[in-house]
């Protein structure tokens, strides 16, 4: 098992999300930076959807009560194994009794920890993700706290050989401070004035403090509407950009509600979701319009880089064996 000595600022169990239940009002949840968690899982030989830890700004202190392998991806929160700094995006061997801690934020917001075999909390509706608004999933539907214990399976002997494997920087998302995010415009462009749409695509917005896993509230020049009413309701996706009556956009994220009534001006493309996940309050954002074909191409390129690399690595491993 893994013992939580200190929980960090905000640490939850997450996987790829709880899909298939939005029609019943159940949110998806899952990792904010799904690419980073998937890469961490591949580094330690897990299936892509295995559960790991999402750690925000200040990581936890964890003690491993059995040997395992681990990988940390996403933000650089200065990870230290047995008191010595270790690099992100690399598979490491952790002996029984060793401790993992974090010095503090160096770059980014959310880091992801995967261990060999995954975090073994019970699945609920096909997922081990923590859904904070619903108070279920993960570990009792909440963030970790001191003296929690996380079950993990025994380390398979062959997995030891993965220690030292590195996911190359060229295949990672182009993380950057103050990013320009690509969006597909619509579907409710007729709610906004031409001036309002021009403002959205030409001005800078700031991530404000009341931003969380449910959504990022932005502040900037208000987006003017042509229609004053609201929608009766519509379904919401990860990356939906809503505009409430005050004209300040909201980017809906992993813990979003399933339906809403504010008109949608655009939706972030999935290839850029890792970028918004690593933004903090005070960071600046801009938006760039792209087509659905361009969005699809960017997604296939990013995730293709991930899966192609690990397919090649696994083939090399098989040849060595």
Query: What is the torsion angle, in degrees rounded to the nearest 10, for the CA atoms of residue 4, residue 1, residue 125 and residue 239?
Result: 50
Asked if 78 and 98 count as a contact pair (C-beta separation under 8 A), the reply is: no
The tens digit of pLDDT for each residue in 149-197 reads 999 999 888 888 899 999 999 999 999 999 999 999 989 988 999 999 9
What per-residue confidence (pLDDT) applies to 308? 86
Helix (H, G, I), strand (E, B) or coil at 234: strand
CA 143, CA 126: separation in Å to the nearest integer?
Answer: 20
φ/ψ of 49, rounded to 5, equals: -90, 10
Q: Which residues of the chain have pLDDT under 50?
A: 318-321
The DSSP secondary-structure symbol of 263 reads P
pLDDT value of position 99: 97
Buried b / exposed e over 111-127, threshold 16 CB at 10 Å, is bbbbbbbbbbbeebeeb
Measured between alpha carbons, how far is residue 311 from residues 15, 36, 157, 220 in Å?
21, 17, 20, 44
- The Cα–Cα gap between 192 and 223 comes to 8
* Rounded CA separation 201/138 (Å): 38
What would the DSSP string read from start to end of 247-260? ---EEE-TT--SEE
Rounded CA separation 295/300 (Å): 9
Per-residue pLDDT, 318: 40
Quick: pLDDT tens for 68-91: 999 999 999 999 999 999 999 999
């Amino acid at each position: 098992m893994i013992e939580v000595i200190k929980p960090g600022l905000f640490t939850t169990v997450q996987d790829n999300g709880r899909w298939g239940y939005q029609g019943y009002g159940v949110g998806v949840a899952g990792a904010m930076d799904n690419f980073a968690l998937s890469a961490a899982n591949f580094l330690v030989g897990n299936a892509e959807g295995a559960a790991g830890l999402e750690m925000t700004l200040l990581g936890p202190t964890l003690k491993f009560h059995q040997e395992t392998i681990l990988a940390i991806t996403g933000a650089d929160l200065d990870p230290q194994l047995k008191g010595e700094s270790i690099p992100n995006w690399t598979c490491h061997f952790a002996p029984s009794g060793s401790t993992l801690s974090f010095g503090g934020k160096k770059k980014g917001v959310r880091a992801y920890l995967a261990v060999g075999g995954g975090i073994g909390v019970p699945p609920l509706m096909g997922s081990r993700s923590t859904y904070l608004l619903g108070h279920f999933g993960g570990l009792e539907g909440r963030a970790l706290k001191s003296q929690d214990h996380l079950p993990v399976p025994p380390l398979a002997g062959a997995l030891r050989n993965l220690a030292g494997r590195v996911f190359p920087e060229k295949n990672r998302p182009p993380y950057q401070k103050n990013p320009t995010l690509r969006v597909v415009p619509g579907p409710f462009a007729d709610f906004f004035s031409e001036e309002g749409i021009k403002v959205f695509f030409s001005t800078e917005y700031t991530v404000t403090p009341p931003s969380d896993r449910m959504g990022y509230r932005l502040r900037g020049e208000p987006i003017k509407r042509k229609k004053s009413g609201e929608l009766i309701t519509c379904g919401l996706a990860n990356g939906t950009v809503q505009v409430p009556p005050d004209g300040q956009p909201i980017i809906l994220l992993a813990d979003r509600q399933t339906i809403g009534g504010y008109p949608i001006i655009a939706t972030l493309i999935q290839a850029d979701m890792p970028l918004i996940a690593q933004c903090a309050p005070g960071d600046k954002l801009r938006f760039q319009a792209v087509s659905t074909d361009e969005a699809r191409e960017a997604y296939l390129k990013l995730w293709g880089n991930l899966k192609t690399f690990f397919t090649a690595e696994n083939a090399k491993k098989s040849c060595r064996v």
